[in-house]
Structure formats: structure tokens, C-alpha cells
Structure 1
Amino acid sequence: MPEYKQFPLSDTAEGLTEADILAWRVQVGDTVTVNQIVVEIETAKAAVELPIPWAGVITELHVEPGQTVEVGTAILTMDVDPGGTAAPAAAPAEAAEEEMKPLVGYGSKAVATKRRARKGSAVATPAPVAAPVVTPAPAAAAAPVAPPRGGYVPLAKPPVRKLAKDLGVDLHSLTGTADGGVISRADVERAANGSAPAVPVAATPDAGYDPATRERRVPIKGVRKATAAAMVQSAYTAPHVTEFLTIDVTPMMELREKLKKSREFAGTKLTPLAFAAKAVCLAARRTPDINAVWDEAAQEIVYKEYVHLGIAAATPRGLVVPKIRDADAKSLKELASALTELTNTAREGKTTPAAMLNGTFTITNVGVFGVDTGTPIINPGESAILAVGAIRDTPWVVDGQVRVRKVMQLSLSFDHRVIDGQQGSEFLADVGALLADPAVAISY
């Protein structure tokens, strides 16, 4: 007899409550194996591929790509004992209720199901599942994958998707004629018969566009939604203070050119950001308050003896802040290599949720956009953030003479509950001194 199980959306990081379905990697009728990737989702932190802990036949897909689903919601049903059955049937309600149990995702605790357990009842042990694999979006795969945020997402019901797969029709090339732009069976059949030309993705209007008002509305989801919530929380919780410093970094730029030609740094992308990262780690030793955090619940200030350095990175999904773990223990070369790997991974959308947790200090490099400075908002769970501006040729007084020098601006925002003006000023001055003359590092 068939045995049906329902696969719930699991918490892929710490405390996530929902995720967007980006693309299915399976269709109704597909036979899957244990730990096979079945769906790609977008959480508040990254794009994640979810494996399934059972083998069997997919009988139903409950949600469409583009939908937002709460953690614990069943997203597919499968028959884990298909032997001897002619064709999979719909799962009984009893099986659905029994199998609505949370799975364990990457670095997460078991999540609660929607149905409250009766008092005195035993709690079922969560089914084990392999850690999610984070991938860029879109990613190459056999099944259609949704394009980046803001692009066209093909909408079609599971039977239509299966028909398209059987007929070799790419849903991304079709324009749905049903209500809401949903692709119908007739649309797929026409494309398969060659009676209707395929519409390129680029020519398909963005969802949410209204020609009458010439406005496009995009739902607030995923990384953008999480970033907004975090920034509002930080702005209204931590009393921000921002200080500014303009420095002559000509000696740093000269040292950079010298090191780039050395054997030790051969093949290493040595950027001014690497020098800023090293300067922050060194300066934090002299001002430990900068690396502490306010714990409102415990009414304590927590001092960290390590620097997990966050680097704000702009990606197609929005702003993410992956961390360099134990950055204070790394050399300049190691920091430069870590920065290159971190930024490349972030831009490709491969940053794991775990890589964005538990930072202690953040650097945002607004200089790459040609911006001089700004007033950055502190990331929740931290007490300070440094903005590094563009390096420009600027008239500068040196030994009483006006000369053209390499000049940049720094701005430091800090939580005034943890860091007083003196500590913030001393830290910013130390970072500036290290960038203006890297030889000062010998005295640290």
C-alpha cells in the first residue's frame, strides 16, 4: 500500500519564520532518492537548496514558485512506498497530519509545527536531513530555475509543469494566457506544436507593472525584507553617534604598490579595504569597547575577545554582510585573500546563512561607488560600523606646502550605550593613523 509523507519547509538558519519558493527541482511523478535536492528557496539571508530525507515518488507540489511560505508548512507530498501501486494518489488527511513534523536545517533548532501538541503527548523526533546547499540564483539545473529578483517568474500548476517537462517546453519562454499570467496547459501545447512563438524572457514585462500609472510594484521579500527589519530595529534601539575623519593615505597607497610587486603577495588582490580591515583589528585591541555588544535581556555588556569582521556586500538579492571569522588573528595577506573569497561568494549568491551570523564589527566600503562618506546604521548584535570612502587626489598641506595627495574619508557610527564619545574618537583616530602611516602598526 502507498505510504505518504509531507515535506515541511524547515528553518534553514536561526529563527527564520518564512521563505520564498524560487524553483522546484522536481515535478509530480518524479522518483527521488534520499538527500536529493527538491526545491530552491530564498530565505532572509540567502538562496538555499533543500534536500529531502526520504526516497519515493512525488505525488503533489503544494506551492508555486514566487510564493512566500511559513516555516513548518507542507510544501510537497510523496509516496515513500510506491511498490505495487499503479499510480500515486492524493495523500489521506491522516497521513498529512502525522507527517507535518519539522525538519532540521542548517545550523537551526527544530521548529514548531502549526498544530500545537496536546498536553502530555510525546514530541516526535525530527527527521534528519542533510545540510542545505546554498547556490546562486539563478543556478544551472535540469528543472527551470527562477531568474534574479525583479525578473520574470513563470507561474504554472504542477500538472502543467510536468506536461512542459514531458514535451520539452521551457516555461521561461512562455507568456501565460490564464488569469494572473498563469501558464495553462493550452499554452504549453501550443508551444510544443509550434503554433505560438516563444516569448523571450527579456521581452516579458516585469510582474507588477501597471502601464496606466507607469509604476512597478515589487513585493517586499527575502533579503530586502530582512535587511529593512534589521535596520529599523537598530535605528530605533541603539542610540547612534557618527563621527568623521579625513586622512592622507598616500603612504598606504605607496606601500600597497610595493607589496603588490613582492613575491609574498603574488596572485593576491590587495585592496585598500584589506588595509582598513587590518587597521580595525589592530585598533580594536586598544579600544575593546568597540567590539562589545549591549545585551538588553541580560542587562549586560558583552566583551568579545575575537573579531568576526562583517563586510557589507551589495548583491542582486540585496545587501548581505558575511563575516571573516577571527579576522584579528589573520595577517594582511590572509585578510586580502579572505576578502576576495567573501565578496566573490556573496556576489554569486553562494553565501551560507551561517556565514552571516554572529559578527562583532562591520565595514561598509562606500568608496567603491565613488562616495566620500556616509552615516551607516549599525548591524543588530554589534556596536559599531565603519564606512570607508573613495580615495581621491586632493590638495593637502604637507610640511607647510600644498601638494596633491591621496585622501579618503572615514565615518564611524557607534552605539552610545556601549561606547562613549572618547572611546569612539580614540578608535577612529587609531584607524586613521594606521591608514595614514602603516608603520604605526609596529607600536601596536
Structure 2
Amino acid sequence: MSDMTFPLPDVGEGLTEAEIVTWMVAPGDTVSLNQVICEIETAKSLVELPSPFTGVVTELLAEIGDTVPVGEPILRVRTEDATQDAGTGGDAGTTTGDSEETRDAVADAAASVEHEDSDEGGAVLVGYGTAGAVRSRRRRGGEPLLAGSPIHRAPIPVAEASPIIAKPPIRKLAKDLGVDLAQMAGSGIAGEILRDDVVRQASQASLFRNIATPEPSEAREERIPLKGVRKMTAQAMVASSNDAPHVSVFTEVDATRTMEFVKRLKSSTDFAGVKVSPLLIFAKAMLWAIRRNPEINSTFTETEIIRHNFVNLGIAAATPRGLIVPNVKEAQDLSLLELAKAIERLTITARDGRTPPADMQNGTITITNIGVFGMDFGTPILNPGECAIMAMGTIREKPWVVDGEVRPRMVTTVGGSFDHRIVDGDVISRFVADVASVLEEPALLLD
């Protein structure tokens, strides 16, 4: 028998640390190869870590809420029939002490994930012993699925306890609000706990506390640790604001025909079951305008300007964990239907906290829809490494002059921020005008 430690792996390029969100095992539990042992929150997504060992958990080396550097041990497991490295002493510290059978099993698991469709959210662990794999959370009937292995779940310590069916962001929200998921029933399919369930439970608990104990006053301030998505966003926005000279341009647009077009697409059998919104037409208008103004799709470096002949279109998404910007790869090659499906996939994945690191990398230009929050317009900050970020405000009925007469029209404001090191006002203005032209007349997309 031998004690093995499991160091926190790099689940995405450049990861330096992650927060322990949930332990799914406890000391004394027996774990098998690829069984999910914990859930971590990185700066980009929530990720489940599978065990690289088969054995008995002897110690958890990090507590829930701890932020752990990559490479620091988080779990100790006592394994059977492990061959110790003579130079390691009693604690192997890595998976190098595993039997050949175990190493082969881990490698097979990694290979099975590497060959999975990337749309399923798989990601290969870097530095996971000899090999390894990690899957973002995907549930069927409330249980996590791992490629190449049966479903495993650590023993529930309370006898006859019902499984808690809740997605990672919902678990995180419950933790933040102090809601015990084990004490509530979900209103979703198969008893899944939804966001509204957690918020309602937290509101009721708060009301009860106010009624039962009216004397204590609320704290005058709260201190919220800077970590995860908020930490990454803060660093990126400061760097972008300091490095790139921003210039913003915007214009009002008669989007009546866009709204009519969206209505027709929603009734089309080709788009049945696919989410269609003005954001889709806005995204397609961006791609059309980039073809006419390729300078916009560029990156500035200290020695050169890199003009991209492909478009990885970033979609700013507000999630329970904060703002993230996954991107649609090679968006310039997608049809309107394919683009709609790609945006829907990114949105659902981001909302569920399952955005893989690959979806967050190598974006070339970004769009943000602040209209969903009822805002007319704003001046967004560039995503680092990009030349432009376009925003669309809310679409509302306003008086508009058409052929010399004032008529009610559906009007919005579009525009954005641009890196003035790469493009000047004439290019910026033409680009924004081209986007506006498509929103005014979507038939231009047929050109």
C-alpha cells in the first residue's frame, strides 16, 4: 500500500490557481479511477476533477472555498499494489507510483476524451500524472458523466439521503446565499433545483430572520474576496484600458426591418427549435461589415499589426459567475442558421458554467448586447488583444422621420469602442455605418 497525493492540475492553458467549490468525497471513502472527486472554479469555468487513483481517501488537503495554486496537493489517497519510486520516500506526490494497469487506464481515459467532439465541453488535463482527462459538468438524471468510464458517486454520508440535482452555478449561488440545497425540493424536471428555487428559499429565510430577530442591524459593509471571473475581468479591463487608446463611435438605427426579419425567421421551419433574436442579425451584420473593413479585425503588437483573415466572434455573456466572453470560431464561414446554433450553444454553456477554456481563447472581435438590460448605449472596454468591441442598445418604438413624415419605428443605438493605434476615425465610421446599414436593411446580407 502507498499514500499518493493529487496536485491541482492545469485544466486550461495558463491556469495558475482555482477555488475548491465542492468536495464529492470525504476521508475514508473508497474512490475508483476517474470518479469525480471535487469541483473547482477557475477564472473561466466550473470544472469537475476525476481521480487518477483507485484507493481510499485518507485526507483532504484543501477546504471548500480555498484558492489553491496549480501544483499544490489537494487530496491524499492510499492505493493498493502501488510501486513506490525509491527516491520519493513514503509520499509519491504524483501518479508515477501507480501500477502499470492504473497508468494504462488513465491514459485510455485521456485518449477517449481527446477524441470526443469539442462541442461537448471536454478538456485535457495538463500535468495530470502520466495522462488525464476532465469533463465540464454534463448531467443525465442528476449524475455527472465521464468519458470512457461508468458513473461513480462518492457514498452519501447520511443514510437514505436523496440526491441533490442542481447545476454548478446553482450550487455556487446557493453557497453564496447560505441556502442548504439538501433542505429544499426543486421545481425542475426530476426535481432539479433551479435558480428561482434558490432565490425564493433565500428570500424566505431572510424574511424569517427579519421577523424573528428584528433588533440586530445589518452590516454596514461587506468584503468580497477578489477571485475567479471577477479577478480575471478586473485584470483584463485595467490592462486594456491602460494599453489601448479607446475611441468610441455610435449612431441611431431604424431597426424595424430587422425586427420583421427576426419574426419571419422565428416562424421558419428551418429555424424551428433555434433561438433567434436581434443579436443574431447584429452578429451577421458585424461579419458583413468586417469583409468591407478588414482593418477592424486586427491585433496590435509592439512590432506589428496582425490582421486576421478569420473571425472568432466573441459574445459577451453575463453569467451567475460574472462576465465572460466565449467566441464562435471561424464565424465568417457560418450560415445564418449555423451562426444562430453556435451563439445558442455558447450562451447555454456559459449560463450553466460549463464554458471550456478553448472557447475563451483567440477571439478577434467582440459584440455585447446591453439592450437586454434596457440600456440605450454604453462605451464598452476592449477585450485585450482585439481592435473592436461593438454594442447594441435596447430596441424600442420611437418617432422617426420616414419620407418626410414622422412615423413610429423600432429604433436602436449601435456603435462601440476601437483601438486608435490600429484604425482611424474614417475606418471606424465606415464600419459602424455598415453595421447600421444591415440592421436597417437585412436584405444586404444577400449580397
Task: Pick the TM interval, shorter chain.
Answer: 0.7 to 0.9
| Pairs aligned (count) | 372
CA distance in 2, matches of 1:79, 1:249: 64
Per the alignment, in what secondary structure is the counterpart of residue 216 of structure 1?
Answer: coil
Correspondence 1:78 to 2:77: yes
**Displacement of 1:363:** 0.7
What corresponds to 1:398 in structure 2?
A: 402
For residue 416 of structure 1, the aligned residue among 409, 417, 420 is: 420
Corresponding letter in the other structure for 2:65:
G
Per the alignment, in what secondary structure is the counterpart of residue 340 of structure 1?
Answer: helix
Corresponding letter in the other structure for 2:394:
A
- 1:281–1:328 CA contact under 8 A, matched in 2: yes
Corresponding letter in the other structure for 1:24:
W
Runs of 4+ aligned residues of structure 1 deviating over 4 Å after TM superposition are 107-111, 139-146, 170-173
74-83 or 282-291: bigger deviation: 74-83
Correspondence 1:349 to 2:353: yes
CA distance in 1, matches of 2:88, 2:130: 20
Correspondence 1:94 to 2:111: no
Corresponding letter in the other structure for 2:32:
T
CA distance in 2, matches of 1:293, 1:68: 33
**Displacement of 1:245:** 1.0
What corresponds to 1:106 in structure 2?
A: 123
**Displacement of 1:212:** 6.0
Write the mapping of 1:12-411 to structure 2, written as runs, cut at 5 A.
12-81=11-80, 94-96=89-91, 98-99=93-94, 106=123, 110=127, 126-134=129-137, 147-149=171-173, 151-152=175-176, 203=205, 211=217, 213-296=219-302, 299-411=303-415
Structure 1 residues 71-98: Cα deviation after superposition (integer angstroms, max 9, x where no partner): 1100011112279xxxxxxxx9934465
Distance 1:261-1:110 versus aligned 2 partners, 3 A rule: same
CA distance in 2, matches of 1:231, 1:150: 28
Per the alignment, in what secondary structure is the counterpart of residue 339 of structure 1?
Answer: helix
What corresponds to 2:186 in structure 1?
A: none
- 1:150–1:218 CA contact under 8 A, matched in 2: no
Q: Which has the larger radius of gyration?
A: 1
CA distance in 1, matches of 2:65, 2:11: 18
**Displacement of 1:8:** 0.4
**Displacement of 1:132:** 3.5
Gaps of 5+ in 2: 97-105, 111-121, 145-152, 157-163, 184-200, 210-215
**Displacement of 1:153:** 8.5
64-73 or 415-424: bigger deviation: 415-424
CA distance in 1, matches of 2:382, 2:446: 30
CA distance in 2, matches of 1:63, 1:422: 55
Quick check: which one's helix share is greater?
Answer: 2
126-135 or 369-378: bigger deviation: 126-135
Structure 1 residues 187-245: Cα deviation after superposition (integer angstroms, max 9, x where no partner): xxxxxxxxxxxxx877489xxxx956332322121111111111111111111111011
- TM-score w.r.t. the length of structure 2 is 0.76
CA distance in 2, matches of 1:82, 1:132: 28
270-279 or 127-136: bigger deviation: 127-136
Gaps of 5+ in 1: 84-91, 112-125, 155-169, 174-199
